[in-house]
Amino acid sequence: MLALCVAVTAQAESLQSAAAPPRAVGLADAIAYASAHQPAVRAAIARIEAQKSIAEIPRAEWLPSFGATAQIFGATANQTTASYVSPGVMDVPRIGGTTATAKGTFRPYPSTLVGVGGNQELFDFGRIAARTAAADALVAVVRQRAATAMLDVTFNVEEAYFAVFAAKSIVKASEDAYDRARVHRDLARAGVTAGLRPPIELTRAESELAKLDIGRIRARGNLSTAQAVLAAVVGAPEPALDVAANPPAPEKLPSLDEALRQAGGRNPRLLAAIAELRAEEARTRAIGAELRPDISLTATLSGRAGGAPPSGSGAPADGNGWIPNVPNWDVGVVLTWPLFDGVVNARRDASRAEQRVRHEEIGVVQQEQVAAVREAYVAVEVSRAALPGLQRAIEAARANYEQADARFRAGLGTSVELADAEALRTEADIQLALGEFELARARAVFGRTIAEGI
């Protein structure tokens, strides 16, 4: 077992020495790089641009529209004085200018049409403006959601950054513990060889050394994992990133009242809820505007011909209807006014109901936000208050270890006593590293709840 651990350690050390060390970055640089390259941020920016493009759709209704058509078909031409409407399930071509008959026939006649025309909006009584405002309001919603994504990315970078610091501290504690245990193993071996100590002292020291060796291997693996996670959350092309030499000092903690005020004014999750309410209000107005009148300009230039016999004294068309050489043009102003539409009214009522939902959701978000700020504030205070105790624990564990080490060197203490002291000292070092990480993480969580940096 011991030989296997030594072999694994040697292999890990050789691989680590062969690979180039990861590039070290500062926290500010890591956040700045993630803001520009992290896929989540880039996706949020792309969603903003997409929503902006969607918002341009209603504005395009002010642009003129043009179209052209060319038609040729065969049909009967049995004109009567009957009136009819064009149903929506089929196309009924207009028959005009042909001889009225009492009895129809099934003889078809050719008919052709070519034309080009256009339409231009003249006045819409605010309908397009209402739809444009509703689309712009959705852009504001997407912006706030993007800000939320940016806060998440910043927090993830900070958490991963301080996790690397904690992992490096744990590696150092594990390496120091292994070095001390190796010295004690050598002392135990010398004592056993000289006949001053029983053989159990050496086997106990060997067992303790193997345990600490496994601990330092795992600590190195955890460090490599933390460095890989940091590179991933930053969006760096490298497989791993390291941190700068010294951790950044945590920012000053504002008062709880000031934190609540800041969160209420700039937290993107709350602002997104408010923006969603404004967007729903704009949507309600846009739906209601669909019932407003509309004035548009229309113009058409066409050529047509029909092969059916004309009524009265009219001359038949040249080419028997196959050549659309009879010109026509028209220019007109068209007023349309949908006086009543039950579907539009129902959609408007449904949108008003959604407004009430959005209004109530703002209250939910506000309550959750206040609770999150208070919880994060307390977590920072608790983590900060725990650090002096962790430091005192390290001092006591080191004093206990020095006493046990002195007793062992003098032949008064045993390897079991020394192993217990070593375990206390190593655990105290690791707990201090974890305590510092918890404080840094709690401060990052608090910064996220009050939207620091936005």
Residue of 437, 283, 274 lying closest to 364 (CA atoms):
274
Residue in the structure block whose two tokens are 């034309």: 115
100: DSSP letter: B
Q: What is the CA radius of gyration of the chain?
A: 41
Q: How far apart are CA 23 and CA 11, in angstroms?
A: 23
Residue ranges of domains in the chain: 22-71+109-449
% residues pLDDT > 70 (the chain): 90
Q: How far apart are CA 300 and CA 133, in angstroms?
A: 33
Name the CATH code of domain 22-71+109-449 (choices 1.10.8.50, 1.20.1250.10, 1.20.1440.130, 1.20.1600.10): 1.20.1600.10
Query: In terms of DSSP H, where are the helices of 248-341?
Result: 256-266, 268-289
CB atoms within 10 A of CB 249: 6
Buried (b) or exposed (e) across 120-159, using 16+ Cβ within 10 A?
ebeebeebbebbbbbbbbbbbbbbbbbbbbbbbbbbbbbb
> Across the chain, how many H-helices and E-strands are there?
9, 6
pLDDT of residue 2: 35
pLDDT of residue 113: 82
Q: How far apart are CA 310 and CA 316, in angstroms?
A: 6
**Residue 337, amino acid:** W
Q: 25 with 33: CB under 8 angstroms?
A: yes
pLDDT of residue 21: 86
pLDDT of residue 320: 79
Residue in the structure block whose two tokens are 């509703």: 134
pLDDT tens for each residue of the chain, 454 residues long: 333 334 434 444 444 444 678 999 999 999 999 999 999 999 999 999 999 999 999 999 999 988 888 878 777 766 666 655 555 555 666 667 777 777 777 888 888 888 888 989 999 999 999 999 999 999 999 999 999 999 999 999 999 999 999 999 999 999 999 999 899 888 889 888 888 888 888 898 899 899 999 999 999 999 999 999 999 999 999 999 999 877 777 778 889 999 999 888 889 999 999 999 999 999 999 999 999 999 999 888 888 888 887 776 666 777 778 888 888 888 889 899 999 999 999 999 999 999 999 999 999 999 999 999 999 999 999 999 999 999 999 999 999 989 988 988 888 888 888 888 999 999 999 999 999 999 999 999 999 999 887 7
283: DSSP letter: H
pLDDT of residue 46: 95
Encoded tokens for 331: 């220019």
CA distances from 367 to 255, 274, 375 (A): 19, 14, 12
pLDDT digits (tens, 9 = 90+) for 191-216: 888 888 888 888 988 998 999 999 99
Provide the 3-class DSSP secondary structure of residue 172.
Answer: helix
pLDDT digits (tens, 9 = 90+) for 123-148: 999 999 999 999 999 999 999 999 99
Provide the 3-class DSSP secondary structure of residue 140.
Answer: helix
